[in-house]
Structure 1
Amino acid sequence: MSAERFIGVLSGTSLDALDLALVHINKSGTISQLDALNWKLPESLQQQCHDLCTPGANELVRYGIADRLFAETVAEGVHTLLAKNKLTAADIRAIGSHGQTVRHHPDANPAFTLQLGCPHTISALTGIAVVGQFRQKDIALGGEGAPLAPALHQKIFQVAEEQRIIANIGGIANITYLPASESEPVIGFDTGPGNTLMDYWVQKHLQHDYDANGDWAASGISDQSLLALMQSDPYFQKLPPKSTGREYFTPAWLQQALQQHAEAGATPTAPENIQATLLELTAITLTDAINAIPNPNSVPKRSVYVCGGGAHNQALTERCRTLLPNVSWQTTEAIGVHPDWVEAVLFAWLAWAHVHGVAPDLTKVTGAKRATVLGAYIPAS
């Protein structure tokens, strides 16, 4: 069987645009990326998604409408990517569409996760089979439903020459530990907020989509008492497997921390200092999580490879290097995949895995009872 083309799509926890990756995958699961596209979400849809991340009125109707609108936007992005590459629907085996998470509650009883982006609508509008709902089966088997990326990281990044840690800094940050020995388990979990709180704060005060290069944060000084208050959140003390989302680390979460800080008698903190504190929170919780991974012999060497939007935040990555001075820090481009496209490639690969009955083993990552084929298949016809 020759290589097949798949498209992977997600918007991630930063919630500003769709990332689409067009890939070739052969019968052994080896991936060759052909092209990628960043497709902006309409501002009205961005706002609808933001609103659905927190409790509000008439949620079911708003969810149903946003579910369809998000799927229509995915279909537009797919058509654009196909036209760009002079391809038709018949050239694509399947689309792997993650959707946009608006609620993720692995600790609820029973646990659940909700994503926008109706796969039936995507299939109807593109004429291509769609694999979606990737997290639900893992949760049904007792897992966290996240992170899923370690399955791909192990497939394409694990080597015998070094211990690798893939640090994905999107709206939420997560890590994957890839031991040099295949006899050791792969470990992966969400460490806490990545860009989500920093994005919110710079949008609120400077009306920028994000803090370019971390320049605004770098202009401030982190507030150590506020940082300590934030770090006291129970999520940071919880042991893996664990996962979280932007619906936990919300603007309301930040405002509550600021209110508690003020009620404790703290001097008001300047906005740029709060931004610096949020950057420090991301850097410390990420590097603390890496430090907690056992490394008794320090052989072979340990390296960190960064992907996601946070890979472009120079102030953040420099701070991480300072906190972990004996560890090499590079982006995933150094090992073959551009940092902006790793997660889109993930969902293309998960669509391939579903179509071919491959069950990624995430038992040591999510806590699921067993390996399972992930996703639900919506045929093109």
Structure 2
Amino acid sequence: MPELYIGLMSGTSLDGVDAVLADLSGPRCRVLHHHAAAFAPGMRAELLALNASGPDELHRAALAANALARCYAQAVHALLAQAGCAPAAVRAIGAHGQTVRHRPGAFDGTGYTLQLNNPALLAELTGICVVADLRSRDLAAGGQGAPLVPAFHQQQFGQPGQDALVLNIGGIANLSVLRADGSVLGFDCGPGNALMDHWCQQHLGQAFDRDGAWAASGRVAPALLALLQAEPYLHQAPPKSTGRDLFHPGWLEQHLRALPPLPAADVQATLLELTASACAASATSYKNNSEFLAVCGGGAFNGQLMARLQALLPGLRVQPTDTLGLPALQVEAAAFAWLARQCLHGLPGNLPSATGAQGARVLGAIYPA
């Protein structure tokens, strides 16, 4: 008998919401339907602005959370209509929210991670139980609160006796190391698409560099690449996680000011190389006997980025997760459907080896229908 959950994901790229209807009754997640909804430009701009301090931000954040819940609800209704499924057939929605600050361990030893969301409103608008606030318990247990997807990657892609690597490239890139003995390591490698998207929007007026074509037209600037690669985060040992708090436009501009002016296309090429090199260095360090690197997230659709990853990792087959049975744009949303199930069943959702928490914890707060 199917056990249906909905997973919602709006990531660091701020491009919109991915929603999946998943059957979690078997040993692996089976996505039945997928719906993607882009953010309206004004909403995207406000969510991006709330990543930094600004006037009246508590008021603005509360209203943005309400707007996001309504956007989530619209995606849920569209998904259910597409599937011909009644809300009552769905056990729960896993709603991650929109991360606007991520400072684990900072300031007072605990720090915080902040996801805008209004799960109570989402439950009211959909008539479905909602599981939200999926990071704070891990943080309270001394962890980073991220990444949370490695546990799902192990469930979905792990094979006994085989090493494997799963790389998610959203706004930030994170790697899951699935070891032959069943142990798992996971961490954020560094920037993914966020800086490239920002530079493309600023200079071309486009939300992203389709297929990496603009980056491919430029040349990597060695001096800029060296400055960017000197960022201490890139050389830290895991567990570690990051976000726009570190890799933001001001961070890039600071390094650009230290150099003579560069052609915009060369900066884009250098940002792509930064992402590729950070991901490749992480994969090289932890690949063990892995034969492939499975890539998910929006970065899997950037042909130039995938080509650079393959060139930097000649000993691995770089391939989208589609080849393993789960399309690249569905993986993260499916992970949050799975985390909702873990919560309702009273099962841990984190991996201390990935987040650094003191132990396994049941994650999430439940908002009944």
TM over 0.5: yes
Alignment CA distance shift 1:15-1:366 (3 Å):
same
* CA-to-aligned-CA distance 1:79-105 (integer Å, 9 cap, x gap): 111111122211111000001100010
Q: How does 1:316-327 map to 2 (within 5 A)?
A: 316-327=305-316
Aligned equivalents of 2:263, 2:90: Cα separation in 1: 51
Q: Is the 8 Å Cα contact of residues 162 and 303 (structure 1) preserved in structure 2?
A: no
Q: Does 1:328 align with 2:317?
A: yes
Q: Which runs of 5+ in 2 are unaligned?
A: none
Q: Does 1:216 align with 2:214?
A: yes
Q: How does 1:169-248 map to 2 (within 5 A)?
A: 169-182=169-182, 185-248=183-246
* CA-to-aligned-CA distance 1:188-220 (integer Å, 9 cap, x gap): 000011000000001111111110110100000
Letter in structure 1 aligned against 2:279: L
- Provide the secondary structure at the position in 1 that maps to 2:176: strand
Shift of 1:144: 0.3
Q: How does 1:44-63 map to 2 (within 5 A)?
A: 44-63=42-61
* Residue aligning to 2:99: 101
Identity among equivalent positions (%) equals: 44
Q: Is the 8 Å Cα contact of residues 163 and 287 (structure 2) preserved in structure 1?
A: no
- Provide the secondary structure at the position in 2 that maps to 1:240: coil
- Provide the secondary structure at the position in 2 that maps to 1:189: strand
Alignment CA distance shift 1:53-1:239 (3 Å):
same
Q: Is the 8 Å Cα contact of residues 71 and 116 (structure 1) preserved in structure 2?
A: no
Match of 1:349 among 338, 344, 347: 338
Q: Which runs of 5+ in 1 are unaligned?
A: none
Shift of 1:152: 0.3
Match of 2:286 among 251, 273, 293: 293
Q: Is the 8 Å Cα contact of residues 95 and 130 (structure 1) preserved in structure 2?
A: yes
- Provide the secondary structure at the position in 2 that maps to 1:292: helix
Alignment CA distance shift 1:243-1:334 (3 Å):
same
Q: Is the 8 Å Cα contact of residues 161 and 181 (structure 2) preserved in structure 1?
A: no
* CA-to-aligned-CA distance 1:126-165 (integer Å, 9 cap, x gap): 1110000100000000000000000100101111353210
* CA-to-aligned-CA distance 1:173-199 (integer Å, 9 cap, x gap): 0000011222xx211000011000000
Q: Is the 8 Å Cα contact of residues 218 and 268 (structure 2) preserved in structure 1?
A: yes
* Residue aligning to 2:160: 160
* Residue aligning to 2:269: 276
Letter in structure 2 aligned against 1:221: R
TM-score where L is the length of structure 1: 0.94
Q: Is the 8 Å Cα contact of residues 22 and 33 (structure 1) preserved in structure 2?
A: yes
Q: Is the 8 Å Cα contact of residues 105 and 142 (structure 2) preserved in structure 1?
A: no
Q: Is the 8 Å Cα contact of residues 61 and 116 (structure 2) preserved in structure 1?
A: yes
* Residue aligning to 2:124: 124
Shift of 1:3: 2.4
* Residue aligning to 2:84: 86
Shift of 1:361: 4.7
Q: Is the 8 Å Cα contact of residues 95 and 336 (structure 2) preserved in structure 1?
A: yes
Aligned equivalents of 1:134, 1:335: Cα separation in 2: 26
Q: Is the 8 Å Cα contact of residues 200 and 268 (structure 2) preserved in structure 1?
A: yes
* Residue aligning to 2:7: 8
Aligned equivalents of 1:225, 1:45: Cα separation in 2: 36
Shift of 1:16: 1.2
Alignment CA distance shift 1:126-1:361 (3 Å):
closer
Q: Does 1:149 align with 2:149?
A: yes
* Residue aligning to 1:73: 71
Shift of 1:43: 1.4
TM-score where L is the length of structure 2: 0.97
Q: Is the 8 Å Cα contact of residues 161 and 180 (structure 1) preserved in structure 2?
A: yes
Q: Name the Cα RMSD after superposition.
A: 1.2
